[in-house]
């Protein structure tokens, strides 16, 4: 089996103990998938932070360095039909569960993708980041050779909107756990920092100034923030979130609500910036721009309505019919979070949050 790898190390700080662990574990996970005997299997790649060489390392209760991020694997097939791909997805689930228990972090396998279909997802941030940072641990050929590599400036603004949507939903989930002493500090802190990371990086994508490497993104965001008149603290907050991803320290803040509010403010400003609005723009102004800005939607048309109906079984509001589903969802979550404060039940009413979660799961 040939191994294709874009980075020598998996962690941002090159932690020897964690690197040694990954050198043992990652090939073993690939071997477990290979042992399933899936005829259509073309390859398995580790992506995410560890695949890009930017994975986080934290100290355990005993002071020993340990993994912090999930292990995100991508499974690729050759010539598998829709039904067969679902069967492969189910086949790898026990492998994910077994290694999740063994490592104490989530081991995830994304939905299987045919190598012949990679051109259809070449515009997405997820697959472009995979192209620029992965470790193939299963398969004879480089499965990503057929995936076109884009320049950073070629990422479509809709990918920025998708990123904002996902990080906004993370904020909503974190708000529900913000209490007088949150029960899951790690979960909340991860999502607060992801909201900042996603907010800054979505602005860069929408401005066609994204960079593949974290250090270059920080420089690019500093320049963009100065041009847009953002508070200097925003650049500092982004730098702190990058450092948290590199060497996370799960230390509960003195005031959970204030920490959530800072992340929410960063995210809301980022939505306004992505929509081309001023930092202090009114909520309704941002919402109108999210609807009107064609550069965000990419291509408005009946295809977007069909995507929404297929996924949600409802056409929704007539005025939204031609909008990209990701933008329709982003407007919903932005309206909620722009006016929200964390309370004992989270922003909005429970029924509203339940609907958002359901729509998010099918749209994303």
3-state secondary structure 190-211: HHHHHHHHHHHHHHHHHCCCCC
Rounded distance between C-alpha atoms, residue 165 and residue 70, angstroms: 20
- For 139, other C-beta atoms within 10 Å of its C-beta total 23
32-64 per-position pLDDT tens digit: 999 999 999 999 999 999 999 989 888 877 778
In this predicted structure, the answer to whether residue 182 has a pLDDT above a threshold of 70 is no
What pLDDT was estimated at residue 92? 97
To which residue do tokens 């650049």 refer?
A: 235
Which pLDDT does position 255 carry in this prediction? 83
Positive or negative: CA dihedral 142, 148, 153, 154: negative
The answer to whether 263 and 196 have CB atoms below 8 angstroms apart is yes
Residue 99 pLDDT > 60: yes
pLDDT tops 70 at residue 335: yes
d(CA 272, CA 294): 15
Q: Is it the case that residue 319 has pLDDT exceeding 80?
A: no
Which stretch of 25-29, 36-40, 65-69, 185-189 has the lowest confidence by average pLDDT? 185-189
Total length of the chain: 364
Judge contact between 66 and 97, C-beta under 8 A.
Answer: no
Tell me which of 185 and 71 has the higher pLDDT: 71
Helix (H/G/I), strand (E/B), else coil: 44: strand
User: What is the structure's pLDDT at 240?
Assistant: 95
H or E element at residue 113: strand 113-114
Assigned token pair, 288: 């109108």
Whole-angstrom Cα distance, residue 233 to residue 293?
28
pLDDT of residue 180: 46
* Residue 33, number of CB atoms within 10 A of its CB: 23
């Amino acid at each position: 089996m040939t191994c294709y790898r874009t980075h020598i190390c998996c962690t941002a700080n090159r932690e020897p103990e964690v690197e040694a662990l990954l050198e043992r574990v990652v090939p073993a996970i690939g071997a477990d998938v290979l042992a399933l005997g899936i005829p259509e299997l073309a390859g398995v790649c580790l992506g995410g932070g560890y695949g890009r060489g930017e994975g986080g390392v934290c100290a355990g209760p005993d002071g020993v360095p340990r993994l912090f991020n999930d292990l995100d694997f991508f499974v690729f097939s050759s010539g598998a039909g829709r039904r067969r791909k679902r069967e492969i997805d189910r086949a790898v689930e026990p492998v994910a569960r077994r290694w999740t228990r063994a490592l104490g972090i989530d081991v995830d396998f994304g939905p299987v993708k045919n190598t012949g279909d990679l051109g259809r997802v070449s515009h997405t941030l997820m697959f472009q980041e995979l192209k620029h940072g992965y470790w193939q641990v299963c398969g004879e050929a480089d499965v990503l050779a057929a995936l076109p590599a884009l320049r950073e400036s070629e990422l479509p603004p809709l990918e920025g909107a998708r990123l904002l949507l996902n990080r906004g939903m993370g904020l909503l989930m974190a708000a529900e756990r913000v209490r007088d002493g949150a029960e899951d500090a790690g979960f909340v802190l991860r999502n607060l920092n992801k909201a900042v990371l996603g907010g800054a990086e979505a602005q860069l994508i929408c401005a066609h100034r994204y960079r593949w490497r974290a250090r270059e993104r920080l420089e690019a965001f500093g320049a963009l923030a100065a041009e847009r008149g953002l508070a200097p603290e925003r650049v500092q907050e982004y730098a702190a979130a990058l450092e948290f991803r590199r060497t996370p320290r799960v230390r509960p803040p003195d005031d959970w609500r204030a920490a959530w509010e800072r992340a929410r403010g960063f995210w809301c400003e980022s939505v306004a910036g992505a929509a081309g609005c001023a930092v202090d723009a009114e909520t309704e102004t941002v919402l109108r721009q999210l609807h009107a800005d064609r550069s965000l939607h990419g291509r408005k048309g009946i295809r977007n309505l069909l995507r929404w109906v297929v996924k949600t079984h409802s056409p929704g509001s007539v005025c939204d019919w031609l909008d990209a589903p990701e933008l329709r969802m982003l407007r919903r979550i932005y309206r909620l979070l722009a006016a929200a404060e964390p309370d004992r039940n989270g922003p909005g009413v429970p029924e509203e949050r339940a609907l958002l979660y359901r729509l998010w799961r099918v749209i994303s």
